[in-house]
Amino acid sequence: MRVAVLTGASSGMGFAVARRLGAEGYTLVVNSRDPAQAVRRLEAAGYKAVGVAGDLKEEGTARRLVEVAERIGRLDALLLNHGGPPVKAFMEVGEEEWREWFERMVVGPLRLLRLAVPLFRRGGGGRVVAITSFTVKSPYPGIVLSNALRAALVNALKTAALELGREGILINAVAPGYILTERIAEWNRGQAAREGVGVEEVAARTTGSIPLGRYGKAEEVAEVVAFLLSERNGYVTGQQVLVDGGYVVAT
Ligand SMILES: NC(=O)c1ccc[n+]([C@@H]2O[C@H](COP(=O)([O-])OP(=O)(O)OC[C@H]3O[C@@H](n4cnc5c(N)ncnc54)[C@H](OP(=O)(O)O)[C@@H]3O)[C@@H](O)[C@H]2O)c1
């Protein structure tokens, strides 16, 4: 029996990873602020799933997730994910908002990883993946919280990967490009409103700039994440893997 703890896993890419690991027989500990419906869907598909409701920024959420895994008896895989921060330009973000999102996007995931390490050690190792964004490689204007805080997380995880590799704990980030989820639909609506054009125009411009000519699917990201989270991944650690259809980010 293998156990996976997944945060931000009630929709989009997180849910696709949960489904993928469920199909591989993992017992799933599924977090989001409201994971009840996702857990019901996973159970209906025949997978073993337990829900833990809570914001990743709260200390209690991380503690409860690790406690549930401890009760089940082991931890093999940890997915660090959450919803994206508000789409805001540099001059629009005040100190309080910086602190709130730093807690959610950096402190929260790192706290959970720190609490999970003893459980990984007990089992002789483990696998960790954080979902980040292609914009970490090349920051995009108008999303300063995402650009800055994901970069901080990725470098902290890289450090952890270097320090924990000898204990069999492999830690990577997966950076999605444009993946068709509710998050991207919301992004397109915002962009269209800002530019005073139609949503279709924004979508067509995006897909036109992607070498594979289309948005990615959550399942295509989940496939890569599931590999990195499994024991099939024997020698990849400390990396950020882009799943972006070949998108060339302007520098
Ligand atoms: N879609 C893309 O093209 C794209 C591209 C680059 C990067 N990303 C990033 O990849 C991540 C996942 O994107 P997605 O499109 O799959 O998003 P999504 O469909 O909005 O899913 C986000 C998930 O996280 C949960 N969540 C939100 N806030 C949370 C919190 N504070 N604590 C715990 N769980 C939380 C949500 O459920 P609840 O509402 O129940 O909490 C939901 O299950 C986001 O950070 C997004 O910015 C997405």
Kindly list the distances between the CA atom of residue 52 and the CA atoms of 8, 34, 68, in Å, as whole numbers in the listed order: 11, 8, 8
| Weakest-pLDDT range from 25-34, 108-117, 195-204 | 195-204
Domain annotation covers residue 250: no
Encode pLDDT of 99-109 as tens digits: 999 999 999 99
Encode pLDDT of 202-226 as tens digits: 999 999 999 999 999 999 999 999 9
Domain annotation covers residue 11: yes
* 210 and 153 in a common domain: no
Lining ligand 1 with CB less than 6 A are 7-14, 31-34, 55-57, 81-84, 104, 131, 133, 176, 178-179, 181-184
Residue 120's closest CA among 153, 61, 75, 173? Answer: 75
* 198 and 102 in a common domain: no
| Cα separation, 93 vs 78, whole angstroms | 30
Residue 51's closest CA among 65, 63, 66, 67? Answer: 65
Decide: 202 and 238 in contact? Cβ < 8 Å: no
Domain annotation covers residue 251: no
What's the pLDDT at 77? Answer: 99
Whole-number average pLDDT of the chain: 96
Mutate to test the pocket of ligand 1, among 5, 6, 7, 11 (most ligand atoms within 8 A of CB): 11
Q: What letter represents residue 118's amino acid?
A: P
Q: In what order do the strands lie in the sheet with 169-176?
A: 49-53, 27-32, 3-6, 77-80, 126-131, 169-176, 240-243
What's the pLDDT at 248? Answer: 76
Domain annotation covers residue 191: yes
Residue 126 has pLDDT above 90, yes or no: yes
Assign 80 a pLDDT band (cuts: 50, 70, 90).
Answer: very high
Identify the sign of the CA torsion 77, 150, 183, 64: positive
Domain annotation covers residue 12: yes
Domain span at 25 = 3-177+218-243
* 152 and 71 in a common domain: yes
What's the pLDDT at 186? Answer: 85
Q: Whose CA is nearest to atom 41 of ligand 1?
A: 33
* 91 and 19 in a common domain: yes
Encode pLDDT of 14-70 as tens digits: 999 999 999 999 999 999 999 999 999 999 999 999 999 999 999 999 999 999 999
In the chain, how many domains are there? 2
Beta-bridge mates of residue 169? 126
* 144 and 68 in a common domain: yes
Kindly list the distances between the CA atom of residue 82 and the CA atoms of 74, 131, 229, in Å, as whole numbers in the listed order: 23, 8, 17
* 199 and 119 in a common domain: no
Q: Which helix (H) or strand (E) holds 232?
A: none
* 162 and 69 in a common domain: yes
Residue 4's closest CA among 29, 38, 40? Answer: 29
| Cα separation, 156 vs 173, whole angstroms | 11
Work out the average pLDDT over 123-135.
Answer: 97
Ligand 1 centre distance from Cα of residue 27 (Å): 21
Ligand 1 centre distance from Cα of residue 183 (Å): 7
Domain annotation covers residue 47: yes
| Cα separation, 217 vs 96, whole angstroms | 34
Which pTM value belongs to this model?
A: 0.97
Assign 250 a pLDDT band (cuts: 50, 70, 90).
Answer: low
Domain annotation covers residue 249: no
* 198 and 84 in a common domain: no
Ligand 1 centre distance from Cα of residue 122 (Å): 30
Tell me, what CATH number does 129's domain have? 3.40.50.720
* 139 and 77 in a common domain: yes
Domain annotation covers residue 158: yes
Encode pLDDT of 131-189 as tens digits: 999 999 889 899 999 999 999 999 999 999 999 999 999 999 999 999 999 878 888 99
Residue 251 has pLDDT above 60, yes or no: no
* 187 and 87 in a common domain: no
* 9 and 44 in a common domain: yes
Q: Whose CA is nearest to atom 8 of ligand 1?
A: 133
What's the pLDDT at 182? Answer: 85
* 163 and 210 in a common domain: no
What's the pLDDT at 183? Answer: 79
